[in-house]
Amino acid sequence: MEYAFVTGATGLLGNNVVRALLKRNIKVKALVRSVEKAKKQFGSLPVEFVEGDMLNVEAFAHALQGCDALFHTAAYFRDSYKGGKHWQKLYDTNVTGTERLLQAAYDAGIRRAVHTSSIAVLKGNRDQVIDETMSRSELEADDYYLSKILSEQKVQQFLTQHPDMFIAMVLPGWMFGPGDIGPTSSGQFLLDFVGQKLPGVLPGSFSVVDARDVAEHQIAAITRGRSGERYLAAGNHMDMKSIFQALSSVSGIKAPERKVPLFMLRIIALIYEGYYRITKKPVLISTSTVKLMEQEQGRTHFSHNKSSRELECKFRPVAETLTDTLDWYRNNNYTDA
């Protein structure tokens, strides 16, 4: 691998993939929707920017020429409640966009790729350790989850049609890390904690992972993985109380102690959605978020036996991830705390 094309390059995962590739002296073309934003993200790093959007792959397809590897991290995901339906954009970006990107890469001569999937495509029983074989039914998926399931299906269909193509799939958990200029839901959660805006200890558990570790999984998958295979990069299984305690430890800010039951969270979500309809300012907690938290309770413990065995990747301590993420936000003037 000498010249990689990275989609979603300014995002939390994408920027860390770019940086990991550059450290290996691999040249990078970065698909970005805004060159101005990309310059803010990468500064003077030697990255070639390709301005484009996954909704119009044909417009940037020519830029894939000369590359020998593809890292597809771009996806549409609405982190906050903004009202209305967005299935069509999810499908066009995550499903049709993926299909067209793979074809454009193949036509440009690329034969190795990594597709960023999600733990959303998996589901087990409550309190069960979940591995890559436990697929979620399309009937049990919300719109975003369904778009990731269908995009994986497009990958497998493409491999059937093009057996000389290599595509591995990496499934991240809830990512934190430096370079989250969005910010994503995790970054906003951290900022809300620091700003003491969270109502209390929320219910549920999560798999917390450093985006830099996911980036390493992606590079390992394309070099040591097997084509057509899923590789979990979900990270550390933690309940919300443990996450709050870890954030308190690294930030010096007292964690909320009051537990917020699901019925109260539903009421808060309704108030937040009403606030959005009046102010048009996005909010993090919505009724659909609460419903998802309820459905996924006890279903966030994932096995890394396969990725550890085949990719030989590890996860750094959560405290290191949260410290580095918070330092990045402070150094980039996202918070005064």
Within 10 angstroms of residue 334's Cβ, the number of other Cβ atoms is 18
Mean pLDDT of 294-323: 94
Domain count, the chain: 1
Span of 87-101, 202-216, 263-277 with lowest mean pLDDT:
263-277
Report the pLDDT value the prediction gives residue 286, as an integer from 0 to 100.
Answer: 81
Report the pLDDT value the prediction gives residue 40, as an integer from 0 to 100.
Answer: 96
Q: Which domain holds residue 227?
A: 3-181+208-235+301-317
- Per-residue pLDDT for 80 more than 70? no
Question: Residue 335 has which token pair?
Answer: 């918070």
- Per-residue pLDDT for 60 more than 80? yes
b/e sequence 174-191, b meaning 16+ C-beta within 10 Å: bbbbbbbbebbbbbbbbb
Within-domain flag for 269: no
Within-domain flag for 97: yes
- Per-residue pLDDT for 131 more than 80? yes
Report the pLDDT value the prediction gives residue 53, as an integer from 0 to 100.
Answer: 98
Within-domain flag for 112: yes
Within-domain flag for 279: no
Within-domain flag for 247: no
- Tell me if 171 sits within 8 A of 155, measured CB to CB: no
Q: What is the CATH number of the domain that holds 129?
A: 3.40.50.720
- Per-residue pLDDT for 79 more than 70? no
**Edge-to-edge order in the sheet of strand 230-233:** 48-51, 27-32, 3-7, 69-72, 112-116, 166-172, 230-233
Report the pLDDT value the prediction gives residue 280, as an integer from 0 to 100.
Answer: 81
21, 15, 19, 20: which is closest to 3 by C-alpha?
A: 21
Q: pLDDT of 239-261, one tens digit each?
A: 999 999 999 999 999 999 999 98
Whose structure tokens read 């940037």?
60
Question: CA angle, 10 as apex, 224 and 307 as ends, to 5°?
Answer: 25
Mean pLDDT of 23-43: 98
* Higher per-residue confidence, 195 vs 294: 195
2, 29, 6: which is closest to 16 by C-alpha?
A: 6
Within-domain flag for 15: yes
Average pLDDT, the chain: 94
pLDDT above 70 coverage of the chain, percent: 97
88, 103, 91: which is closest to 57 by C-alpha?
A: 103
Position 218 confidence tier, pLDDT thresholds 50, 70, 90: very high
pLDDT above 90 coverage of the chain, percent: 80
Mean pLDDT of 23-34: 99
Within-domain flag for 189: no
Position 52 confidence tier, pLDDT thresholds 50, 70, 90: very high
Q: pLDDT of 163-189, one tens digit each?
A: 999 999 999 999 999 999 999 989 999
Position 63 confidence tier, pLDDT thresholds 50, 70, 90: very high
Mean pLDDT of 84-94: 89
Span of 8-17, 76-85, 136-145 with lowest mean pLDDT:
76-85
Position 81 confidence tier, pLDDT thresholds 50, 70, 90: low
Mean pLDDT of 91-99: 98
Within-domain flag for 33: yes
**Edge-to-edge order in the sheet of strand 174-176:** 174-176, 205-210, 236-239
Sign of CA dihedral 214, 217, 222, 226: negative
Report the pLDDT value the prediction gives residue 229, as an integer from 0 to 100.
Answer: 99
